[in-house]
Amino acid sequence: MGKRLKPVPKFANEAAERAFWEKNDSTAYLDWKRAQPAVFPNLKPSTQTISLRLPQHLLDSIKTAANARDVPYQSLIKVWLQEKLRGS
């Protein structure tokens, strides 16, 4: 028989819940061995700005290709990188 878990209290708001979990160990309240991964399909992935030096002729070619597709060139670069990583 496993350890008896404490009931998770009802919280008045998110701030009260945050304060509670900052001071209490969740293992006394939750059986993490039964936890399952959560999927949040509508979350926008975080991005990070990078600096990438390209030869001018290459950047011009990318901008021309993006203009022909009526998309921003940075977006086209991201699509091409993602396609390459997927092996397309």
Cα distance between residue 48 and residue 66, in whole Å: 21
- List pLDDT tens digits, range 29-87: 999 999 999 988 888 888 889 999 999 999 999 999 999 999 999 999 999 999 999 98
pTM of this structure:
0.50
Query: Which pLDDT band holds residue 2 (cuts at 50, 70, 90)?
Result: low
Are 62 and 76 spatial neighbours (Cβ–Cβ below 8 Å)? yes
Indicate whether 1 pLDDT > 70. Answer: no
| Average confidence (pLDDT) over 19-31 | 95
Q: Which CATH architecture has domain 38-88?
A: Orthogonal Bundle (1.10)
What is the domain partition of the chain in residue ranges?
A: 1-36, 38-88
- The pLDDT of residue 43 is 86
